[in-house]
Amino acid sequence: MARRIARSAAAACLAAPLVVLLAAPAAAAPPDGGASSGTLLVKTQSDAWFSISSACTASPTGCLPAGAPAPPYPSKTLHIGVGAGQEESRTYLSLNLLNLPAGTALTGGTLHLPIADMEDGSRAPDTASLQACLVTESFKDDVEGSTDKPPAIDCKKAAAPAKLVAATATAPAQFAVDLAPFASAWTTGAAQQGIAIVPATDTAPSSAWHVALSAHDRVGSTVPAPTATVAYASGAADSDDSSFDSPDLETGAPADSGFGSGSASFAAPPLAPQPVSIPAAPAPVVQPVAVPQAAAVPQQIQPQAFVGTGRFAYPGVFLLPLVLIAAAGWLARAMTRELVTA
């Protein structure tokens, strides 16, 4: 009887490590692939504004040097205006997306355009009708009132109306633009040259208004420069990452690693070394276990732990079989000896 009890205790001790091995991989399973999303406040990276007239837009080279007088507006301000229903000025902006988390892409957000004071040139801004359009050519930073032909825009590929938001106790009146159409265009192949703020197509022939903004590097003004609250998400899976690697991104510099190239460079490499160096280590330890049908189970489950973390969550568990076998032998011998002497 004593020997039967000792054998039962030893068998229970041997079975315990198998229960732990089966349960441990499930507890160590990674989260949902590391997917991330959120919002981030970003500033404008570059800006420029151009003086516009029918004579300038009709000419392939823009206005002649004497075609327009110097703009009577303060330095480091931006302008969008209409006179007698005709466009007089437009503004170009690009966003600084370098701080987006690696492996994520822009999915939407809101562009905020605080309206500068009358001293900066604003006239009847509450009657303005604005829209944002996709910029398809690069532009130089800090251009102020140039009469050159403005960079090309495409309001059919991506555009959004600018909606007037009333002032509050903590923020001036501003225009808000939905960035979802631009995020969609950029993730499907359009180069990120920027966003143009122009008069809307429904501008009445008798319209006369002017909207002034602060430039991104303006100092000493109580009116902040434009900013954007952008939404991002990881695994913009089937997007064409090559579009984000194109040069002249927003400023003519190499590709913006914070937006598109980050998705390309962080998508695959971290997983490559895992199946080579780590999964082979636990196999020799599990095979000596006395129950062969259960030993195959950890081989199927263990690789799941390496997808998320690169290593087994509880490496010390593989020492349990040896410790428990030794304990079971000692217990069996002790119990047998004790009953025989009695």
Q: 325-328, long-range: CB within 8 Å, 24+ apart, which pairs?
A: 325/13, 325/14, 327/13, 328/9, 328/10, 328/13, 328/14
Domain extent listing, the chain: 2-28+281-341, 37-266
CA distance 304 to 25: 8
pLDDT tens, 141-188?
A: 999 999 999 999 999 999 999 999 999 999 999 999 999 999 999 999
pLDDT confidence of residue 26: 40
Q: Residue 315: what are its φ and ψ, rounded to 5°?
A: -65, -30
pLDDT confidence of residue 10: 53
Identity of the residue numbered 183: A
Residue 37 has, within 13 A of its CA and on its CB side, a CA count of: 11
pLDDT confidence of residue 151: 96
**Chain mean position to CA 330:** 59
**Both tokens assigned to 158:** 């991506």
Report the alpha-carbon angle 37-160-95, nearest 5: 55
Is the pTM higher than 0.75? The answer reads: no
Between strands 143-146 and 37-51, the pairing is parallel
Cβ contacts of 108 within 8 Å, gap of 6 or more: 178, 179, 180, 183, 230, 231
Q: Helix 2-27 vs helix 292-308: angle between axes, to the nearest 10 degrees? A: 30
CA distance 291 to 30: 28
Question: If you write DSSP's letter for every residue of 42-68 in order, what string do you get?
Answer: EEEEEEEEEE--HHHHHSTT-S-TTSS
CB-based contact 92:151 (threshold 8 Å)? yes
Secondary structure of 143-194 in the HEC alphabet? EEEECCCCCCEEEEEEEEEEEEECCCCCCCCEEEEECHHHHHHHHCCCCCCC
pLDDT confidence of residue 272: 42
Residues of the chain with pLDDT under 50: 17-34, 64, 66-67, 237-279, 288-299, 301-309, 340, 342
pLDDT tens, 130-147?
A: 999 999 999 999 999 999
pLDDT confidence of residue 313: 55
CB-based contact 332:10 (threshold 8 Å)? yes
